[in-house]
Structure 1
Amino acid sequence: MNQVLKKASALAALASAVGTMAACGPVGLTGPQGAALNALNNRTQVNALSRARNGKKWLVAIHMAADNNLYTAGLKDLNEIEAGLNDAGAAANDIEVIVLFDGAKQGDSAVYRMQADPAGLNSTLVSKPIDNPIAKAGSEIDSGDGKVFAAFTDWVTKTFPAQKNSISIWNHGGGAVRRGGEASTFEMFVPTQIGAMNGIQSRFADGSRNFGSDDNGGEMKMADLNPALAAAARNIGGPVDIMGFDTCLMSYLETAYQVKGLAKVLVASEELEPGDGWEYRSYVGGLAQNSGWDAAQLGKHMVDSYIKSYATGVQRGNDITLAATDVNVVTGELTAAINAFGAELTAGLPANKAAIDAARSKTQMFYNRDAADFGHFLQLYAGATRSRGAADVMNAYKKAVIANGFDRMNPNATGAVIYFPTSTMSYKQVYDNPSVLLFAETKGWGNFLKAYTRK
């Protein structure tokens, strides 16, 4: 296993060389979520759903943005997919795996319809590029462009109708809210002067974090998820079953909320991921052999296969977390409980500040220090204060987390983090802007954080 992390490898290179850079569904929704849900009610979308049910049992669509220092890991994962399909034998015909690939070589952008490799796992790719309107032969796409991702999700769900659908982004990841003064993932991989020259700094001044970076292009932000998943939802007649991030740091409750009405299950990591990322041989092979799985069952399998793949080897015990989260529970019962809990905490300030500080200081954290494992915080705070609000949130939170895996280095990882700056950190105003981060519309948690960080 290589030691590259899907976000932090550039930081390691910087430390070693001074001056050099290395690298679903309430009624009345507005915006892309509302447009997607409203469209599902018309006859066109009923017909789309009927067509989808006549397709293969699962479509696995992967946006593999490997035009960066993860290029070799991307090639390895393509071969793992081929090996997994081969392991499944005839059952491989029950699923379709389509990969939009963009690597580090100029003109290598392509869409692959993945095939079983009779030789098993090796370094030879037997799958061939297929005709598509996104990445023509010899072309170079910007895999960090949200419009490219949306074009892919639209085309792939139209072209390969299936009974169930998984869409995932493969790349670097940064989380939900960018800390003040923090570089984008793109800027971590290029000299600052180049980033400024290309307008990268102003381009991501909205303060959201980032994922899907292309060293020769841009990177995506949270709001880019909505048009892409809305396009898929229109085509398949409902929310996608799985939205996955084979990236670092995207298992935020805010991420799950961002895709409300557009995805059923979120699969993502609270912590950094090793460069090798998910283990696609067992993931794809297991799905092919159990293609009757629903979204929750596949999400659990994705978590289990990932955790098991790092049980041995050089990456054993290092930064391994993955969870599957029920988006409907997050956006419904859990959000309502969080709003009530936030109001309780706010009303109790400043008298309860010491108890909040004590619980927050002991809470499991990951690479993003302005976020905290929400389940662990609830456990600590409820235990110390007997807060009814915390207990209610914890009950809903447990329903939301379908599957949670972690290594010995992260024993208190419970599945999802939430933006939670300490009282000594500044509150980022982006958390008030639903056009950047949809969770901002809920207000309860944000109002608490503003009051808490001012006390």
Structure 2
Amino acid sequence: MTLPRSRDFALLLLLVLPLSGCGMFHSGTNPPINGSGSLVLTVIWTGNRGDPSSPHAVRVTLYRADKLIQDVVLSRADTPSTGWTAQLESGTYRLQLAVYNNQNAIGTPVASGDITVQIVQDTPQRLNVATGGTPVALAILPEVVTLTPGQILPLSVLGVDAQGRYLLLPAGTVVRWSVSDSNVVNLQSDGVARALAPGSVAVTASVDSLGLSANASVGVQTVTREWTILVFMNAANNLEPDSVDDMNEMEQLGSTADVNIVVQWKRIAGYDSSNGDWRTTRRYYVTKDNDPETVNANLLVDMGTGVDMGNPNTLREFLQWGVRSFPARKYMVVIWNHGAGWRAYRDRLNILARGVSYDDNTGNHIRIWELPLALSVGVRWNIIAFDASLMQMLEVAYEIRNLGDYIVGSEESPPAPGYPYHRILAPVIANPNIPVRDFAAQIVTQTINYYNPDSTDNITQSALDASLIEDVAQRVDVLAQVLLRVATDHAAVAAARENAQAYAEYTFKDLWDYTEQLRTRLASSPALTDAINGVQNALSQAVIAEAHSNRRVNRSHGLSIYVPRPSEFETRYNLLAFARATHWDEWLQAQP
């Protein structure tokens, strides 16, 4: 609620109590302490009680989140001050004060402001507010602050008179804020501190018109949680409306005391004008809220324009920052955007199409062979997930096999909304100690169930054990060498290729189904049978979870591979680690 203010007499009141844990409007990380405490407010009246232009009433409105707790009016009496006490459950509250000249708090307030307080069990929180005087010093409240990365805390500046009492700054007073290290705390011009990374900074507030300044210390402590989930959300393309939906889905769950959800999000003009229609790149700490339309997550930093989300170094920088700022025992990274497997359509066809993390502002995308460098940030990823099309293929998995435990993605190009984040993250929010393998499998299950496999044509999803991708590649290498020797029947090879389960990129074939097509159509031989069985056995071990639609992609098994016609083979394929390590590229070019 915003109270109207008098243009001539409005005063600014912004105050945050110096309490442990540091109250904030959207923390989502510090659960309330069981028990109760008290808030003790003392209003010190200034001016003459007989003067109608002096303050005569203060409306006190107390909220917890958006729920109104109390609404009372403190009227001026013969005493120099008026006290008010509330017994409250432990937790964070917002106290709104409005000062009126009218005894019954009618009309326009001459001053108003919000106070964030945190009630601690068995500890009275005292707040003394005077309504006038001459400041001889300034005070930043709280004077000492300890936050954790992702938290937001509005700092406040008050005057202090010769008696040491807090005073209100006149309306229109300009406060100039500065911080010693903006990499640790992002300090906004309105005094809102956003914790970015562990460290300690000095915050200075200056009021040049008064010739006064004040200092405070803000520390950002290292807190190791069970999980940190980092989402690289490149919505600088026609998926922007879906990015807004996905942020709101994440907010249905929000970060917890055990799970951090952190997003780097870029938007673009022309697709979605909601939520301020900003067109920059931002970093958010996702907090829980019940608004399905408005993104209310904690904005940590607006990185401005010019950030290239199609550059692998941008992904690497985000992940380095995320790991340093939000340490955890387990890590998951989600690469969110259009996808095209190992290929980039724009390069091949010279038209505007899709690549991995395609940025329409810059025209760049991340190539698959650039992913290892981008993902190498000093931790082993427990889950690497691609919320993008066509990424669950052997060539992609082989590039990143040594960087994570499990790889989750889609063989096909799924519907634009992508992952239902309120579903896929629910298992880890409910049970942060869920085994990583089970969590990866749940992403598959929750995604397929959300889209209903009986009514959706293009849903595939699988989870891979990255430690077994090397074995799959070796088995495919053996198969390629056998095919080079025995696959001389042009019609049979072509039929196997053309009839294998294919996807939106028709040269991507389901690996299991392709080998089964080869088994059916080529002349049988012990070497070929053994090679095909070897690939399928390796796949059955590496694919730990798989599900798909029951219609067009019903012969999917969880991992695709590049199988073009010989005349369509792209020489850039040889840049891939998989091509260099196997004879698959030789087979593709030698197909009869």
Q: Same fold (TM over 0.5)?
A: yes
Equivalents in 2 of 1:181, 1:68: separation in Å?
A: 17
Q: CA 1:346–1:59 in structure 2 vs 1: closer, same or farther (change >3 Å)?
A: same
Indicate which of 259, 262, 269 corresponds to 1:98. 262
Is 2:368 the partner of 1:368? no
Contact 2:253 2:426 in 1 (8 A): yes
Indicate which of 129, 141, 145 corresponds to 2:311. 145
Is 2:384 the partner of 1:243? yes
CA RMSD in angstroms comes to: 2.3
1:419 matched residue in structure 2: 562
Is 2:108 the partner of 1:108? no
Give 1:448 deviation, angstroms: 1.4
Equivalents in 2 of 1:390, 1:54: separation in Å?
A: 49
Equivalents in 2 of 1:335, 1:321: separation in Å?
A: 22
Contact 2:387 2:418 in 1 (8 A): yes
1:188 matched residue in structure 2: 352
State the number of aligned residues: 356
1:214 matched residue in structure 2: 359
Matches within 5 A, 1:326-405: 326-331=465-470, 333-350=471-488, 352-384=489-521, 385=524, 387-405=529-547
More strand by share: 2
1:73 matched residue in structure 2: 242
Give 1:382 deviation, angstroms: 3.0
Runs of at least 5 residues in structure 1 that lack an aligned partner in the other structure: 1-52, 87-91, 190-208
1:76-97 deviation digits (Å, cap 9, x = unpaired) = 10000010338xxxxx321110
Larger radius of gyration: 2
Equivalents in 2 of 1:173, 1:316: separation in Å?
A: 23
Is 2:219 the partner of 1:55? no
1:279-329 deviation digits (Å, cap 9, x = unpaired) = 0001122221122123321211111111111118xx931311111112211
| Letter of the 2:254 counterpart | L
Indicate which of 436, 439, 444 corresponds to 2:583. 444
Equivalents in 2 of 1:449, 1:285: separation in Å?
A: 42
Contact 1:62 1:98 in 2 (8 A): yes
Query: Which gives a bigger RCO, structure 1 or 2 (Cα 8 Å, sep 6+)?
Result: 1
TM-score, scaled to structure 2: 0.57
2:412 matched residue in structure 1: 271
Give 1:375 deviation, angstroms: 0.9
Q: CA 1:181–1:144 in structure 2 vs 1: closer, same or farther (change >3 Å)?
A: closer
Q: Percent identity?
A: 25
TM-score, scaled to structure 1: 0.74
| Letter of the 1:261 counterpart | N
Contact 2:427 2:434 in 1 (8 A): no
Contact 2:254 2:261 in 1 (8 A): no
Give 1:344 deviation, angstroms: 0.6
Equivalents in 1 of 2:435, 2:513: separation in Å?
A: 28
Contact 2:344 2:356 in 1 (8 A): no
More helix by share: 1
Indicate which of 318, 323, 330 corresponds to 2:462. 323
Contact 2:419 2:447 in 1 (8 A): yes
Q: CA 1:179–1:126 in structure 2 vs 1: closer, same or farther (change >3 Å)?
A: closer
Query: Secondary structure at 1:130's aligned position in 2?
Result: strand
Contact 1:210 1:222 in 2 (8 A): no
Runs of at least 5 residues in structure 2 that lack an aligned partner in the other structure: 1-221, 270-277
| Letter of the 1:311 counterpart | N
